[in-house]
Amino acid sequence: MKHLKKENQKTLEGLRTLLNNNNARLIKFEIFHKAFGDVIIEIEYLNNIHIFSTDRGDIYHNGRGLRNNSYHIAGESDTFRTVVKVIEEVLFTKV
């Protein structure tokens, strides 16, 4: 994805590695730079579709709010990195 900033390319590579290591598949990835860097990530895992999205920094999984934007540091592009951490916690961390 040539339109991604270098930092986001690195994060996307990390996401792909995380998914591959857990037998999950990235179906869709979109980042909207003009809309506060909002992202939509669609993942197939264990025969289920999981949609992670952000809206002004708030993070959602299948429409359910998981995190508000209090993690965000002004001037940092940390939303995508945080979404990847949330994906790992929600899908792959054993309770």
Question: Among the residues of the chain, which ranges form H helices?
Answer: 6-21, 79-87
Give CA–CA dist 67/58, Å, rounded: 6
Q: Could you tell me if 30 and 51 are in contact, meaning their C-beta atoms sit under 8 angstroms apart?
A: no
Q: What integer pLDDT is reported at residue 95 of this predicted model?
A: 59
Q: What integer pLDDT is reported at residue 16 of this predicted model?
A: 96
Cα 46 to Cα 22, 26, 32, 70, distances in angstroms: 10, 13, 28, 31
Give CA–CA dist 94/69, Å, rounded: 25
pTM of the model: 0.84
Q: What integer pLDDT is reported at residue 35 of this predicted model?
A: 60
Q: What integer pLDDT is reported at residue 64 of this predicted model?
A: 96
- Tens place of pLDDT for every residue, the chain, 95 residues? 446 777 778 889 999 999 999 999 999 998 887 766 688 999 999 999 999 999 888 999 999 999 888 777 666 667 788 899 999 999 999 75
Q: Could you tell me if 50 and 61 are in contact, meaning their C-beta atoms sit under 8 angstroms apart?
A: yes
Q: Give the length of the chain.
A: 95
Q: Which of the 8 DSSP states describes residue 51? A: E
Domain-wise residue ranges, the chain: 6-73+84-92
